[in-house]
Amino acid sequence: MDGLITGENDERVGLSVIDNEDAEHLIEMEFDGTIKHHQSESYADNPALRTREECERVDQARRFARWHVYRERGYDTVPPTENPDRLLAGLLGITMLSEAEFDEYFGDLEDQLHDHYDGSSVNLPFPNADPDDAIIYQKDVYLTPDPTEFEPPVLDQYLARFDGEPDSPVTDGIRDIEPDGMNDLTFEVEAVSEMHILHNDGQGSEQVYHGDQPLDRDPDVRVELMAFDPASVDSFHQYVVSNLAYQIRDRFLLMGVKPPVAFRTQGWGSYEGFQCQKFCSLYEEYWSTEDTITSWEPGVE
């Protein structure tokens, strides 16, 4: 994947994206990431005339375009809970919570997960939902300070602290970051939402319940966990932190980009990542700890 900004006016940014099939996408987007024009001679304009894989390559180009404009121009074009800089800040902030603070924010989620496996009745907001169906629990996290206002960016500063090359096209130049140019990368959890619940019946039908939000702004991070037995892990706190690391992996994969080495690990990340990896041949099943991964370059032939 490669991008080149070709123009900008007071309404939008234009760019050319070359995907992993060497097809060019001409994209124009507004400063909030809304895509107003997308044309490629290599893919049908009508999604119904594309294969599943072709649709995904178009989506990869759009995701990569938003990331490229965000990093090159500083506009908030990446949806907040999909931004790797924000996800890493959330990972760092939640890691630093005391156990009492973590329980205050996420204890209800852990209790709900236990109900699936200890014989309790599982309270779901859908009258026809089977607790054994795919149930995704989500909690939105609000951070301070704003993770997108760091220069160099949060992800680059974090990776620059480690020896070895990140080996990813999204981290070019991090070895040029000097130690005195780095911030402390200390983030505080300002607030956490009530639980959101997504139910997938396995037959193509989804329903979503949205819990209350504590602040009148977009959250920075969304923890997403498929129902599992929390007694199967040593630390639920660490499991939540790991989920955000896997989400960073997913967000780069869904851009069509090999993730940095630090995030090439297997485990449950985002629900969108799971859906793509499960049902699109461009991806391997990175979400599964039992699958054998042969490549971290999604859809590169």
pLDDT of residue 255: 97
pLDDT of residue 176: 62
For the chain, percent of residues with pLDDT exceeding 70:
95
Question: pLDDT at residue 224 above 80?
Answer: yes
CB atoms within 10 A of CB 181: 11
Q: How far is CA 84 from the centre of its chain?
A: 7
pLDDT of residue 123: 93
pLDDT of residue 184: 85
Question: pLDDT at residue 300 above 90?
Answer: no
Question: Would you state the structure tokens that stand for residue 199, as one six-digit string?
Answer: 């139910």
Residue at token pair 């205050």: 104
Question: pLDDT at residue 256 above 80?
Answer: yes
Residue 67 · residue 170 · CB < 8 Å:
yes
Helix (H, G, I), strand (E, B) or coil at 49: helix
Question: Would you state the structure tokens that stand for residue 124, as one six-digit string?
Answer: 């779901």
**Could you report the per-residue pLDDT of 131-179, keeping only the tens digit for each?**
999 999 999 999 999 999 999 999 999 988 877 766 777 766 665 676 6
24-30: strand order across its sheet = 2-8, 12-18, 24-30, 35-39
CA angle 28, 31, 34 (to 5 degrees): 60
Question: pLDDT at residue 231 above 90?
Answer: yes
Tell me the pLDDT band of 248, cut-offs 50, 70 and 90.
Answer: very high
Give 3-state DSSP helix, strand, coil % of the chain, rounded to 5: 35, 20, 45
Containing 62, the helix (H) or strand (E) segment is helix 52-73
Residues 6+ apart with CB under 8 A from 17: 1, 2, 3, 24, 25, 27, 61, 64, 65, 68
**Could you report the per-residue pLDDT of 40-51, keeping only the tens digit for each?**
999 999 999 999
- How many helices (H) and strands (E) are present in the chain, helices listed first? 6, 9
pLDDT of residue 169: 74
Helix (H, G, I), strand (E, B) or coil at 80: helix
Residue 129 · residue 208 · CB < 8 Å:
no
Between CA 177 and CA 159 the distance in angstroms is 10
Handedness of CA 9, 12, 18, 21 (dihedral sign): negative
Question: Would you state the structure tokens that stand for residue 72, as one six-digit string?
Answer: 């090159």
